[in-house]
Each structure stands twice: as structure tokens, then as C-alpha cells.
């Protein structure tokens, strides 16, 4: 497992999580003002959590059960973020979702 789990700073992992978070923030800036404390707040809290849980997983890589738990948490946050992005798309706030896949 050690070879596959060198950590959060492994090339590509940190960069992808950061780009995802920045894309979500960028797109959500254009959403309607009335969504500021609802959908916008939710997606802006869940998207950085993906990278945070990946970072925690990297710190727990020596403990397989903890490592997998943190990866599961990261996936949960990712699924929540994708849910909010899908909801935004259904409301017409996001017209191009390809950069989130």
C-alpha cells in the first residue's frame, strides 16, 4: 500500500483538489444573490473538504483502516459537491459541467 499512497502532496492529487476547489468557487460567484446562504454556502464548504480529507488520508497512510476511512470521507464530500453542482445546473446557474468531471 505504501507505494500507492505516498501522500496528499503526490503530483496530481494536490493540484487536482486545488483546481476543483477553485473552479467551484469561480462558478459559484456568478450564482444569484438569494443562493448565497443556501446552495453557494453548501458547495463552498464541501468542495475544500475533499482536499482536506485527502490530506488527512495522506497523514494516516500507515494505518490502513484510518486511511480508507479518510478516503471514504473525501469521496462523501466530493459526492455532496457534485450534488450541489447538479442542482445548480438544474436551476440554470451552471451551463457547462465538464470541468467538474
The pTM of this model reads: 0.81
Confidence of residue 9 (pLDDT cuts 50, 70, 90): low
Which tens digit of pLDDT belongs to each residue from 28-45? 998 999 998 889 999 999
Q: Give me the pLDDT at residue 7, please.
A: 56
Torsion, Cα of 27, 32, 38, 44 (10° steps): 20
Per-domain residue ranges for the chain? 13-26+34-92
Give the span between the Cα atoms of 70 and 54, in whole angstroms. 7
DSSP assignment letter at 92? T
Predicted local distance difference test score (pLDDT) of residue 6: 55
Long-range contacts of 58-66 (CB under 8 A, 24+ apart): 58/5, 58/6, 58/7, 58/8, 58/9, 58/10, 59/7, 59/8, 61/1, 61/2, 61/5, 61/6, 61/7, 64/1
Amino acid at each position: 500500500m505504501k507505494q500507492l499512497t505516498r501522500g496528499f502532496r503526490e503530483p496530481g492529487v494536490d493540484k487536482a483538489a486545488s483546481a476543483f476547489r477553485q473552479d467551484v468557487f469561480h462558478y459559484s460567484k456568478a450564482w444569484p444573490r438569494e443562493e448565497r446562504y443556501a446552495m453557494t454556502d453548501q458547495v463552498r464548504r464541501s468542495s475544500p473538504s475533499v482536499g482536506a480529507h485527502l490530506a488527512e488520508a495522506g497523514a494516516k497512510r500507515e494505518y490502513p483502516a484510518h486511511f480508507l476511512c479518510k478516503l471514504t470521507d473525501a469521496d462523501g464530500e466530493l459526492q455532496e459537491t457534485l450534488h450541489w453542482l447538479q442542482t445548480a445546473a438544474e436551476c440554470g446557474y451552471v451551463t457547462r459541467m465538464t470541468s467538474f468531471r
